[in-house]
Structures are given as structure tokens and as C-alpha cells.
Amino acid sequence: MSDATFEPPQIAPLEPPSRLLMGPGPSDVHPRVLKAMSTPLIGHLDPAFVAMMTEVQDLLRYTFRTGNRWTIPVSGTGSAAMEAAFANLVEPGDRVAVPSNGYFGDRMAAMVERAGGNVVRVEAPWGEPLSPDAVESVLAEHAPAILAFVHAETSTGALQPDVEQLTRIAREHGALVIADTVTSLGGVELRVDEWGIDVAYSGGQKCLSCPPGASPLTLNDRAMEKVGARSAPVRSWYLDLSLLQNYWGDERSYHHTAPITNIYALREALRLVAEEGLENRWARHRRIAGGLKAGVVAMGLQMLPEDAWWLPSLNAVRVPDGIDAKLVTSTLLSRHGIEISGGFGPLAGRIFRIGCMGHSCSSRNVLALLPALAEALREQGFEVDVKEGLAAAVEAMDE
């Protein structure tokens, strides 16, 4: 190769385009979180940082509604917290029940298999929640060690209702419960202890409006007993909780360098949750996303989920017949700077996925999105009444 190949690349200064993030994540980051991220690094074993670790753990317990001692941010995105849950809880040969009603159930299955477990499926169509009956019959037939479910299925916009029923069934059958709360934590009602969830994991960039990189995980004593009783070590060194406990437990000794800036960000994002109050935050998501829902319905569109499992943080809206969903989402992005997303898997081309998460969940954003969406649909020949949509949204959000 000639030396010319090693000329320094000419790269322009960083200037990301201005966007309104209303897709399935990430959501818009609060300015206070961005500011926290531009503060200077300190060492990950500095006493000042160690104090922050404790604060973040306290804030996470508040947000998860748990007293679990084992409540930490895992270094990595939501999938890292997810893999930490499965890699530690699943021992080779364990049977694990996972849902078939969305993309993230498939990811759970893949992680279970890599951990040496055997997957059994609780069946439900994409876009619907699991029924307690289906869970009951799978647990009765296969007696799995673990039942996993997705509280807020981002791929379909379906909320899992009846969580307490699922956890009660699991307990009756001696199974531990792992809940994916990536798109519910900090946005949708979630009560880890009261609902009997043994393990819950989440991510930063959905309803917490943090950049991805430090991801909440909580485990109760029952779950940690199973981890502690493993006969074979966890196959992942990085995510092995028995090693991580030296850093996040009482010792605070080095395991890996915490993503310091991400911990700053998470701390500030969780402070915002605490300031607003968790219940107020759940109510805001229902009210604002309720406005979005009322608006799209008044414009003649239909929601995919039934109201009983509508997910405020991720609104799945049916694509009208004859409409090219990709063209709509690309028009919104290029012309208005608004990011929403389409469906995939069995729902490809059939739904729009509109996030209402954290800092992105505001009446201002809903009122910016509705006319832009209406315009993009009208250009493809689908007539909508924007005025009706805006009026319905305003009314719903004002209540």
C-alpha cells in the first residue's frame, strides 16, 4: 500500500442534525443530563464517585420501587443488563419460559440458549400480551426454573397487564420471574416489590431519557440465592454478578472502569424522576400519550393494541391500507426532523411506532407531530382532518 492511504481523513466537526426523537428509543435527552455529561471525569474509585454510586443505587431503588440491595447500573446498553440477568440466573440445563409475542422475547430466547438453558415458549400473537392461562399451562406442563416476560414490548406497543397474576402463577410453580422493563421504567406504572418481580432490567435511553450506556438491573434475595448456588461459573466474566458485587457491593474494589460519564447522566436523569415524582411521571406519560392516541384516532387512524394493553411509552398506530410506511417515516425525518419508526417482523409495514418517552413525552411534541404526520399521509392520498386531531389531542392532554 502506498503512503497516500495513510493521509489523515478530512472529517468535519461534529454537528448532528436537530431531531425530535419520538421513535422506539433513544428519546430526547434532558438538557440537565447533557450538562451533567460535560462535567469533568473523576476516578471510578474516587471517594466522591463512590458516594455517587450509592446515590445512583438509591435513586434506582426509588424508580424500580424496590428495596433490593442488588440494584445497580450495568455498564452497557439495555441488552447488557438483559444479558446480565439471563447469564447469571440461567444455569446449563435450566428450563426458561419466554414469550413469543414480540421481538424481545426472541432475544431472551437467544440469551437463554447461549447460557446453556432450554427455552419453552409462552405463545401469544405479536401485538397482544401473554394471557395468565397460557402462562399457567406452560408452567404446569414444563415446570421451568424461570418465567421471563416483557412488561413493555417496544416492537409491538403492547403492555403486559396482569403482572401480579403472572408472578403469582410463577411462584405457585416455583419459578423465578425476570421482567424486561426497558420501555416501562420511569414512564409506565411498575412496582417491582409489590408485584413480586424477582429480577428486572432496563435501559437508559427510553423513558429515563438518558444516553444508552448504563443500564438498570435489580435482583431480590431469592434471585441472588440462585446466582450464589450456581455450580458452574457464569460464562461471561464481564457480567458475572459474583465478581461485580465487589465493585457495587460493600467493598467498592476494582472490577472494570465504570462508564463514569454515563453514571453522571443516569444520576441526573434519575434526579429528574425523583423531582417530578414517580406517580406524576406515570400520569404524565398516560396524559400526553393519551393526547397522541386521541389525536391519531380523531384523524381516522387506528391503534394496534386494545385499550387494556395500550402502552403509553410506545404507541403502535396501524398503517392505513395503501400507505407506504417507510415513505411516511422518511418524510417526517427529512422534512420535519421528527423520528418515528415503522414496524418489523410480522408487523413490518403494518404499524408506525411512536414513542412518548421521558423528556420527549410533552404536549408540544405531540402537537408538532400530528400535523407533520397528517401532511405525510395526505401526500399519499389518505385524507385526514388535522383540526379534529389537534382538538382531540389538546382536549385529552388538558384534562
Ligand X SMILES: *Cc1c(COP(=O)(O)O)cnc(C)c1O
- Residue corresponding to grid cell 399451562: 137
| Under rule CB under 6 A, residue 154 binds ligand X | yes
The reply to whether 186 sits near ligand X by the rule CB under 6 A is no
Residue with grid cell 432490567, as numbered in its chain: 201
Q: Residue from 212, 290, 291, 358 that binds ligand X (CB under 6 A)? A: 212
Query: Is 73 one of the binding residues for ligand X (CB under 6 A)?
Result: no
Q: Which stretch binds ligand X (CB under 6 A): 3-11, 180-188, 271-279, 293-301?
A: 180-188
Q: Which is nearer to ligand X, 144 or 157 (CB)?
A: 157
User: Is there binding between residue 150 and ligand X (CB under 6 A)?
Assistant: yes
Determine if 26 is a binding residue for ligand X (CB under 6 A): no
C-beta nearest to ligand X: residue: 78
As to burial, measured by CB atoms within 10 angstroms (0-12 exposed, 13-18 middle, 19+ buried), residue 350 is middle
Stretch that binds ligand X, among 54-62, 73-81, 291-299, 384-392 (CB under 6 A): 73-81
**Comparison of 178 and 219: residue with beta carbon closer to ligand X:** 178
Nearer to ligand X, 25 or 291 (CB): 25
If one asks whether residue 360 binds ligand X (CB under 6 A), the answer comes out as no
Q: How far is the CB of 25 from ligand X (least distance, A)?
A: 5
Mapping DSSP onto H, E and C, the string for the chain reads: CCHHHHCCCCCCCCCCCCCEECCCCCCCCCHHHHHHHCCCCCCCCCHHHHHHHHHHHHHHHHHHCCCCCEEEEEEECHHHHHHHHHHHHCCCCCEEEEECCCHHHHHHHHHHHHCCCEEEEECCCCCCCCCHHHHHHHHHHHCCCEEEEECEECCCCEECCCHHHHHHHHHHCCCEEEEECCCCCCCCCCCCCCCCCCEEECCCCCCCCCCCEEEEEEECHHHHHHHHCCCCCCCCCCCCHHHHHHHHCCCCCCCCCCCHHHHHHHHHHHHHHHHHCHHHHHHHHHHHHHHHHHHHHHCCCCECCCHHHECCCEEEEECCCCCCHHHHHHHHHHHHCEECEECCHHHCCCEEEEECCHHHCCHHHHHHHHHHHHHHHHCCCCCCCHHHHHHHHHHHHHC
The reply to whether 210 sits near ligand X by the rule CB under 6 A is no
Nearer to ligand X, 136 or 180 (CB): 180
Pick from 182, 180, 150, 163: nearest CA to 24: 182
Q: Which window, 51-59, 177-185, 282-290, 335-343, contacts ligand X (CB under 6 A)?
A: 177-185
Nearer to ligand X, 329 or 331 (CB): 329
State the nearest-atom distance from the C-beta of 78 to ligand X, in Å.
Answer: 3
Q: Is 25 in the site for ligand X (CB under 6 A)?
A: yes
Residue in 73, 78, 105, 389 binding ligand X, rule: CB under 6 A: 78
**What residues numbered 312-331 form the site for ligand X, per CB under 6 A?**
none
Q: Tell me which stretch binds ligand X (CB under 6 A): 75-83, 230-238, 260-268, 277-285.
A: 75-83
Q: Which is nearer to ligand X, 85 or 390 (CB)?
A: 85
Cα separation, 376 vs 332, whole angstroms: 7
> How far apart are CB 389 and ligand X at their closest, in Å?
27
Is residue 176 within the footprint of ligand X (CB under 6 A)? Answer: no
Q: Is the peptide bond before 26 cis (omega within 30 degrees of 0)?
A: yes
Nearer to ligand X, 154 or 262 (CB): 154
State which residue, 102 or 295, has the beta carbon closest to ligand X: 102
Using CB under 6 A as the binding rule, the residues of this chain from 82 to 141 that contact ligand X are 82, 104
Binders of ligand X among 237-276, rule CB under 6 A? none
| Residue 389 within binding range of ligand X, rule CB under 6 A | no
Binding residues for ligand X, rule: CB under 6 A, are 25, 77-79, 82, 104, 150, 154, 180, 182-183, 203, 212
